[in-house]
Amino acid sequence: MKQITAIGFDLFNTLITVEASALDEAVQRLIDSLRSDGVPVDPDRFRELHRDIAVQHVLQARQDGRETHNRFWISQTLQQLGQHVQPEDICIAKAVEAYFSAFLENSAIIPETTAMLQRLKGSYRLGLLSNFTHAPAARSILDNLELTACFDTLLISGELGYRKPHPRVFSALAASLETEPGQILYVGDDPRSDVAGAWQNGLTPVWMTYVRDRNIPQAPGLASLQQEDPEHDCRRISDWKDLLELLDSSD
């Protein structure tokens, strides 16, 4: 392995997990928020249509690399239900915040994550690069779990405008870490976005399988769209002890 001077991390299913019930709760809070603002929606029809539209938007984002946002999904759902509410409407902004409040309350750190990051921080530059549509929610989750201070840089696809595995986001990570890609280890659970993305952009990927190996439900959403296994050979770790051993062996 090349000399590593910086390490990048994915967020969901890599550093933190989310309760499986969070997605249903999030959609219910979204619906309640809309209805409290006078937008009449049928919960069952909204849920089914919103799910289908979300999948369409995420598949398109995966195809062209441009990040999408929940406000477009909500607006399109409402318009197909006969409610012509634009993505920029304040009631949709409030509904987005209500939706993500469920994830804020149902996220938890994978054991030993904070200790691992604190141990590495003195020896490596540390960055977080996450695919997350609504960046303020991701930052709130990090703050709530007291992880923000562990990183030298935080990059969220919702702010970058592009998502992994697009080259722009990995270039942004390298620039933000002030490190050449070949000296960056990137740790993530998604075979396509994290492993293939890092490999294709000159970083050294490490496949984190803590969630997979323990049959923990993946962060709710569109995890079913992931590939089964990485297409490229890479180091695989199941906990943070494995990562520390990997780094020690490369010294």
Report in angstroms the alpha-carbon separations of 69 from 4, 88, 121.
34, 11, 32
Q: pLDDT > 70: what percent of the chain?
A: 96
CATH number for region 22-105: 1.10.150
pTM beyond cutoff 0.75: yes
| pLDDT tens sequence across 158-169 | 999 999 999 999
Domain 6-19+108-250 CATH assignment equals 3.40.50.1000: yes
pLDDT at 162: 98
pLDDT at 251: 65
| pLDDT tens sequence across 97-132 | 999 999 999 999 999 999 999 999 989 999 999 999
* Distance of alpha carbon 55 from alpha carbon 23, whole angstroms: 14
177 falls in which pLDDT band (50, 70, 90)? very high
| pLDDT tens sequence across 196-245 | 999 999 999 999 999 999 988 776 654 445 557 887 789 999 999 999 99
pLDDT at 230: 84
**Average pLDDT score over residue span 44-63:** 95
Q: Where are the domains of the chain?
A: 6-19+108-250, 22-105
* Distance of alpha carbon 44 from alpha carbon 21, whole angstroms: 17
Looking at per-residue pLDDT, the higher value among 208 and 250 belongs to 208
